[in-house]
Every structure is written in structure tokens, then in C-alpha cells.
Amino acid sequence: MKAPMSWLGDYVDLSGLDATEVAARLNVTGTELDRLIHHGVETPERIVVGRVLTCEPHPDADRLRVTTVDIGADEPSQIVCGAPNVAQGQVVAVATIGAVMPGGMKIKKAKLRGQESRGMICSARELGIGEEHDGILALDTVLPDAAEIAPGTPFSDVLLHADDVLDLEITPNRPDCLGLYGIAREVAAATGAELRPAPWTAAGAQAAGTTVGPGEDATEGTGAAVDAAGDAIEGFSLEVATPRCPRFTLRLFEGVTVGPSPLWMQARLSASGQRPINNVVDITNYVMLVTGQPLHAFDADRVAGGSLTVREAVDGERLDTLDGTTRTLRAGELVIDDADGPTSLAAVMGGARSEVHEGTTRVLLEVASWDGPTIHRTAHRLDLFSEAASRNAKGLAPEQVDWSQALATRLLRETAGASRVGGTLSAGSWNPAVVPPPLAVREARVQRVLGTPVPRPRQTELLDALGFSVTDAEPDAPAGTGTLQVVVPAERRADVTREIDLIEEIARLGVVADLEPTLPTRRRTVAARLSPRQRARRRAEDVLVGRGLQEVVGWSFTDKGAAGRLGLDADDPRAAAVVLDNPLSEDQAVLRPTILVSLLDVARHNRTRGVDGLRIFETGTVFRDTPDPRRPDMPYEHLAIAALVQDDLFAAKGLLEALMDGLRIDDWAVEATDEVAFLHPGRSARVLVGSGEDAVQVGLLGEVHPRVADRWDLPRMATFLVDLDKLLPLVPEQRPFRAVGAFPDARFDLAVLVAGDVTAAKVVAVARKAGGALLEDVSVFDSYRGKGVPEGQVSLALHVRLRAADRTLAEEEIGGTREAIVAALAEQVGGVLRG
């Protein structure tokens, strides 16, 4: 929500407050500033009013004019202008030397085709006050008193064209802040500044220096429109045939002249991010930005049969919307019908058949409230989240309808020459007599929740500032024991429904910023500790960081095609993704079935931006569309840790070894497998903890299949994937102490030829068992195929370390152990010593 400071200043007294101070106070009270924008010219003091004294063709350029312009200086300025509409006698806006325009362009003295130019005559778009760029902004054609403006007058005195704009992040529970007056109320409450009357009331119109006509006063606080013209419009009828539209209203205006909006309105719309179109459409956008309540204008003469019906669409119905697109509707979506069928996609976008155009003279103005979830589903499906649809999707209060009708009626009269005909047609299920009862706020409860006393007068002051109506139900009650009765304003009823909600309002506005930090009251001192599982998880992450990997946090969502890109068959459990009912987008339509997907996505994102040598890991949750044994009514999920490195299998295995060692897990192994579609055949394995029948598979290790890597535009990559829900329960809390030997060890190496299908793990297991009590460690430190090694065989180099706890080993003991290992390798795996 963009809030220009000058526009905001119409509704709240900002004297002595700049944009930074206002933003800081709003941040403290929960209305977060996304960014502070400067809209328009960077140096507004260098834009002045000028009068064109002469205008002659450029001697060397057909499309240029050489002008002299009186800008209030000692002598006129010569300015070369390319606008086709520049003419002698015009009153114009001039950017003088040194002016910095929107976009950063600085005006300098220059020569254009040999003619000196000292400044620039500006168009509306160059000033940031509209989209018109075909010619200069001739003030005498848009301002009735332009001829009386003295040359050299600062243009900002004529029209405020440069402004600071607060770009605010409005949370979904605060649709009241989707209107500028709602933000003004927040600013007033947060700063203590005076809030001016609402612009849709008689008092607000008078404060703005204008008069109020019939139907232009919506009584503040109740939302009831003061309209003596009744509830009928001759020649028009209205029906609401669905409960999803609580309130729908229409007003008819005749004598409308469609044309450009006043400059002040164009400037404000432009600062708010809206494109000025014409006065009728601009009024609907302007009023929406003030009240937060969208509205729509029909060309009354294009409403077939003079009848409108709000109903639910039939599956397959078609409608041409304002953007020139033919939309196919689904059952349950809302449409507005006339006698010829759908004429508008209700609350989302108007129809092309009944849009306002240059020849429109009669306007039918619609303001309505809608069922928010229905509008949200429609807008999301069609990807049509306009400013209006986004607000209607919040389910605005029916009372707000009158605010927009009253303010729009006045602006149509003032800026489009419109006259209202008849009364206000209204239909829907809303009953204004049904009002929620007041909420009670107990002073004692406020203190108990917030931990600090807030006297009832202070509570009343804070809630009054936010538009709540407060009555002290026990004015004579002792301090700390009384109760307030609070009536919630219409625009806040969806958000404030309980006593605790009111306590939150009191806290965010008048307590939180002033709270002293305190510890909770406890009967005994309690120190927080990590659980063994949490400590083990942190150790695993720390190990990988220590090995030079960078932790990433990927999306838990992915697209439905991710399993196919991984090469998984439909019957593979890893392909059973949990489908989201209401996804953010098609790219985030399912929950990730394996953490490898998000790692590959992150790797591709970095590779396409020139990052090489990737070494990343992630810890996160993985989801499968199968019953969870722990919670049968929920999809299966588990916590996983995975690494992805731009390297080979052995690099990934080294990282896995470091992780297992950091978790103090000694009894683990890898077992070759070719059953994983996304891993390279012959370079992939299962990760097992334990031995024999008690072994538990906790993960996978291998190189990413080349086809899978190609689909993510990646080079050779290796990975390991570990299910932490299976691994962490196997982590010992303590590792048994083993004393460092007092006697020296004995070491020797063996090079053994074995068949190519014998795994290194099998060779190590045989050697470990044969080494007996004297064997302290055995490991493979080299694997060789090539010259000197028979075809179909591999040479494995083993490093063996022996030690006795009570003596130095004799040569006979060392030799005997060596022979036992060699014999066992020959017998069990066909191992033959090389050389």
C-alpha cells in the first residue's frame, strides 16, 4: 500500500513530522514500512512556472522549436523544445538548469542542432503527474487561473508534484489499512497527531473546502448513508442471487463528461502507483485508495435491459474482460449479469461490453461487499490480483460501501459534471441492525497479560484513537479492577473479536515501545538446554560447515514435474508428492518429496550466475503422500540433511565420513546399489548403520545421474542424503573412553588383487575380523585399475595398524597377524597379494 505523505496530510496533521519519523512510529505499532520512495522530481525547487514569449521553427530541425520563456529571471531563457503542441502565450512548467528529473536525468545547458537551450519545458509524465507524453503540459488548458500565475512561481505552489511515499506492508488481518484514511488513523494514534474528519462525511468535505450534496455524507462510525432520494432508480433493477454478496449498491449519474482528471488527482494517483486514465475511472481508483473499498463504473446505456443480477457462474461460461481477454468461468465464481448475460467478473474485473468510454454520458456506479475467499480463489486462478481484487478478497465490511458511494458521488459532481438521478439501489443479505455486542476489557487482565499496569483512562485514550467506542462500565472501581465496554468499528470486526484482541491493540500502540525488559516470574530457576537430538543435529551441521560447505535454505515447495526430472517412476515412494490445495504458483504446487530437489534448484540458481565449485548443504523436512506411522491421518514427513558438491563420489563419501565421525557413529557402512533413478549407476550406494540383520538404512550416497544433472543445467555433482529421523536416535550421547596406548603401534600396508565386483567395504570387513584383538585399525587408501592389473580385477591398498595394550609387539606377532589377514582375504574374497 503506497501512501503519499502529502495526501496523508489531508487526513492527519503531520506538522513537524517527516516521512522517516512517521515510518518509524508505524513500524513500532505493527504497520511495517517496506521502503520509502521519493516520487517525482528530485529537485522540485528547480521546477518553475514559465510563459512562452516566442516560438519559432528550428532552422536546422523540422521537429524542433526554438522558444523564449519568461521564468521570472532578469531575462527570458531560450529553450529548444520538441513537443508538437508548444505555442506562444502558453503557461508551462519549466525545469531549470540543475533540475534532477525522475530517473536521475540532470538538466544542463546544451546545444541542440546549434541552438542553445537553457532548460526544459516539461510534459506531465516528465513531472511524474500523469502518463501524457505526446506534448508539453500547457497549464492554461487545465488550470482556469493559469494566466494569473506569475512567471518564476515555484511549480510546487501550483501543484504538489514531488512527494515522499510510504510503501507499507499491510498484514492480511488489517484491510482497514488498505485505505489512506485507515493509515491516517494509525498515524494519528501512533504519533498523537490530530485526525481530521473522514472525507466521506459532511465535516470532512467542509474541512476540504467543498460543499456537500444529497447522498454525499456517510455518517462516520455507523456507515449509514444519509440519502433522502430513496432506494429506487427509474429504469433500472437489481437482484442478488447468491449469499456470497452480502451487499450490492448502485447509483445512476447523468450529464457525465468523460475527459482528463484534474491535475491534482492525476498527481496523487501517479504517486500511489496508479495510471491516470479518465476522470470517471480515476475517481473510482481515487476513492478506493482513500476508503479501501473498491467500486466499479458501468456505462449505464450499455447495461442491457437496465437490469443487473449478481449470481454464481455456470461452469464453462465465457466473458470478455476489460483487458481484452476472453475468460472461461468455473462454477461458483461470481458474475454480474445484465439482460444479455455476464457483463462483469464480480469484484475482480469489469467486462468490455459495459466499460466507460469517451462517449459515455450516463454512469451506473457499483459499490459492493463480497465473500473474500470466493474472490481470492477466482483472482488466484485467473492471476488477476488487481488493487480492487486484492481488497475485495479480504472480505470488507458492508458499512464501507456507503463511504465509497458518498465520496465518489461528490467527486463525480465536482470533476465530471455529473448529476445523480434517483436513489440508491441496494440488495443482499446484510442487515445493518445486526451488530456484535460490545467487548469487555478487564483492567486486571490487561496487567496480567502485559506484565505492566495500564490505567483505564489510558486504555480508553488508546482505543478511542483507533476508532473504538469505549465506555467505562465501572467508573468508581479501584485502580486495577475496573472494566471497559468497547464497541468495535465496522472495519475492524473481522480482526477484533475477543478481549485479547483489544489487549493487543492497547499493547502495540501504547505499551510495547515503553516496556522494560524483564524475566518471567518462576518459582525456581530454570536453565534452557538443548535436547540430545538438537545437539546432534547442530554437530552434524557444524561438521559440514567446518568442511567448507555453505548452508542453504531452499523452498519446501516444488512443481509437480520435479519427480519426473529426477527420473522417478510413478510407483516410487519418493515420487508420491503431497499436492497443495491452494498453491502460491504452479512452480510451488507440491511439497518436496526429497531434499535433493531444493539443493539442485539452489545449485542451478548459483551456476547461472557464474558461481563455480559449489559445496552446499541443507537441513529440512521432506514430505511424502503416504500415511505417517506416527500420525496415520497425516502425510509422512521426516527431517533430512543432504550435501551437494561439484565433485565426485569420493568427495561426497569423505563428507559423509566426517558427519558420521562428528556424530560418534562408528558402525556404519555403504552398500552399492543401482536402484536409485537419480543417482549414477555404479557410483551410488545405500548408507547403513549397524551390521547384519540389525543394519538400518539411513540414507543414500552417490553421484547425481548425468541425465538428471543435465535437466538442472549442472556439471558432475555428488551428493549424500540422510534421514535424520532414523539416524539421530542411533547417535550415542557419549563415546566410551579409550585410553591412548602406552606402547607403540606397528603399521604395514598390503596391496591386494580382488575381482572388480568385490567392494572395498567387504575387503575391510574380512581384514578386520582376521586381525583379531591386536588390530586397531584397517582402511583402504587406494584403488587402482590399469597397467599391471589383470582385466576384471582391481588393486586395493590397505593400511593396517596393530597395537597391544600391555607390551610392544614382537616381530612374530606382527608377522602372524599379517599372514592371518592375507589368508582370510585369499579364502573369503579371492584376494592375491600384488608383487
- Whether 393 and 316 map to the same domain: the answer is yes
Tell me what pLDDT residue 520 has. 65
* Total number of residues shown for the chain: 835
* Measured distance CA(52)–CA(141) in Å, rounded: 14
The reply to whether 709 and 607 lie within a common domain is yes
Q: Please indicate, yes or no, whether the overall pTM of this predicted structure exceeds 0.75.
A: no
CA dihedral for 384, 389, 391, 392, sign (positive or negative): negative
When comparing pLDDT for 523 and 504, which is higher? Answer: 504
User: Would you say residue 702 has pLDDT above 70?
Assistant: yes
For residue 229, what pLDDT is reported? 62
Same domain, 661 and 762: no
Q: Is residue 375 part of a domain?
A: yes
Write out pLDDT tens, residues 163-220: 999 999 999 999 999 999 999 999 999 999 999 999 999 999 998 888 888 899 986 4
Using CA atoms, how far apart are residues 116 and 78, in angstroms rounded to an integer? 7
Residue 94 maps to a domain = yes
Q: Residue 14: which CATH number?
A: 3.30.56.10
- Can you list the positions of beta strands (E) in 255-406? 296-299, 307-312, 318-320, 326-328, 334-338, 341-345, 349-350, 363-369
Inter-residue contact 656 to 647 (CB < 8 Å): no
- Roughly what angle, to the nearest 10 degrees, separates helices 263-271 and 279-291? 50
Percent of the chain with pLDDT over 90: 78
In this prediction, residue 524 carries a pLDDT of 62
Q: What is the CATH number of the domain that holds 255?
A: 3.50.40.10
R_g of the chain computed on alpha carbons: 38
Q: CA 69, CA 139: separation in Å to the nearest integer?
A: 14
Do 829 and 766 form a contact (C-beta atoms < 8 A)?
A: yes
Q: Is 237 exposed, middle or buried (0-12, 13-18, 19+ CB in 10 A)?
A: middle
Closest CA to 276 of 294, 292, 297, 261: 261
Q: How far apart are CA 578 and CA 554, in angstroms?
A: 17
Q: Could you tell me if 679 and 811 lie in one domain?
A: no
Mean pLDDT score, 239-254: 96
How does residue 133 score in pLDDT terms, banded at 50, 70 and 90?
confident
How much is the pLDDT for 23? 94
Residues 332 and 454 in one domain: no
pLDDT attached to residue 220: 45
3-state secondary structure of 20: helix
CA–CA separation, 275 and 296 (whole Å): 16
Do residues 398 and 369 make contact, with C-beta atoms less than 8 angstroms apart?
yes
Sign of CA dihedral 718, 724, 728, 729: negative
Which residues fall within 8 angstroms of residue 766, CB to CB, at 6 or more apart?
824, 825, 828, 829, 831
Range of the domain at 188: 2-40+163-196
Q: List beta partners, residue 307.
A: 237
pLDDT classification of 526: cutoffs 50, 70, 90: low
Within 481-576, where are the H helices? 499-510, 532-546, 562-565
Please indicate, yes or no, whether residues 77 and 171 belong to a single structural domain of this protein.
no
**C-beta neighbour count of 799 within 10 angstroms:** 14
Q: Residue 522: inside a domain, yes or no?
A: no
pLDDT at position 765 is 87
Q: Residue 226 above 50 pLDDT?
A: no
Contact present, 710 and 639 (Cβ < 8 Å): no
**407 domain-assigned:** yes
Query: Which among 134, 118, 101, 108 has a CA at the least distance from the CA of 66?
Result: 118
In a domain, 524, yes or no: no
CA atoms of 318 and 334, how far apart (whole Å): 12
Q: How many CB atoms lie within 10 A of CB 244?
A: 21
pLDDT value for 224: 44
Q: How many CB atoms lie within 10 A of CB 729?
A: 11
Give, in order, the Cα–Cα distances in Å from 162 to each of 1, 168, 266, 360. Answer: 18, 19, 12, 33
Which CATH number fits the domain that encloses residue 559? 3.30.930.10
Q: Which of 730, 759, 791 is the last residue of a domain?
A: 730
Q: How many angstroms separate the Cα of 315 from the Cα of each of 327, 332, 338? A: 12, 8, 18
Are residue 560 and residue 604 in the same domain, yes or no? yes
Asked whether residue 453 is domain-assigned, the answer is: yes
| 272-302 tens-digit pLDDT | 999 999 999 999 999 999 999 999 999 999 9
Model confidence pLDDT, tens digit, residues 420-467: 999 999 999 999 999 999 999 999 999 999 988 999 999 999 999 999
Instruction: Out of 705, 730, 755, pick the residue that ends a domain.
Output: 730
Question: Parallel, antiparallel, or unpaired for β 334-338 and 2-4?
Answer: unpaired
Domain count, the chain: 6
404 to 119, 289, 495: CA distances (angstroms): 43, 10, 21
DSSP 167-197: EEE--TT-GGGGSHHHHHHHHHHHH-PPBPP
Q: Do the domain assignments include residue 737?
A: no
Amino acid letter for position 273:
G
Residue 144's pLDDT band (cuts 50, 70, 90): confident
Amino acid (one-letter) located at 95: A
pLDDT digits (tens, 9 = 90+) for 590-626: 999 999 999 999 999 999 999 999 999 999 999 998 8
**Is pLDDT at 740 greater than 80 in this prediction?**
no
Q: Mean of the pLDDT values across residues 330-354?
A: 95
Report the pLDDT value the prediction gives residue 521, as an integer from 0 to 100.
Answer: 65
Most confident of the ranges 117-121, 765-769, 786-790: 117-121
Give bridge partners of residue 653 from the DSSP assignment: none
147 lies in the same domain as 180:
no
Q: What is the mean pLDDT of residues 687-715?
A: 92
Residue 502 pLDDT grade (very low, low, confident, very high; cuts 50, 70, 90): very high
Same domain, 281 and 401: yes
Using CA atoms, how far apart are residues 568 and 579, in angstroms rounded to an integer? 17
Residue ending a domain, among 399, 427, 455, is: 427
Dihedral angle over CA of 225, 230, 235, 241, nearest 10: 60
Asked if residue 223 has pLDDT above 60, the reply is no
Which of these, 154, 155, 149, 134, lies nearest to 51 by C-alpha position? 149
For residue 221, pLDDT beyond 50: no
The closest alpha carbon to 196, from 16, 407, 10, belongs to 10
Of 733 and 499, more confident: 499
Residue 738 resides in a domain: no
Same domain membership, residue 709 and residue 638: yes
Report the CATH number at residue 820.
3.30.70.380
Q: Using pLDDT thresholds of 50, 70 and 90, give the confidence band for residue 411.
A: very high
- Note whether 264 and 306 are same-domain residues: yes
CATH code of the domain covering residue 77: 2.40.50.140
CA proximity to 351, closest of 328, 320, 373? 320
CB contact set of 693 (below 8 Å; sequence gap of 6+): none
Q: What pLDDT sits at residue 696? A: 93
Q: Locate cell 552417490: which residue? A: 702
For residues 572 and 495, state if they share a domain: no
Any residues with CB less than 8 A from the CB of 375 and at least 6 apart, and which? 334, 346, 347, 348, 389, 392, 393
| Diameter over CA atoms, the chain | 118
Residue 523: pLDDT band with limits 50, 70, 90: low
Q: 761 falls in which pLDDT band (50, 70, 90)?
A: confident
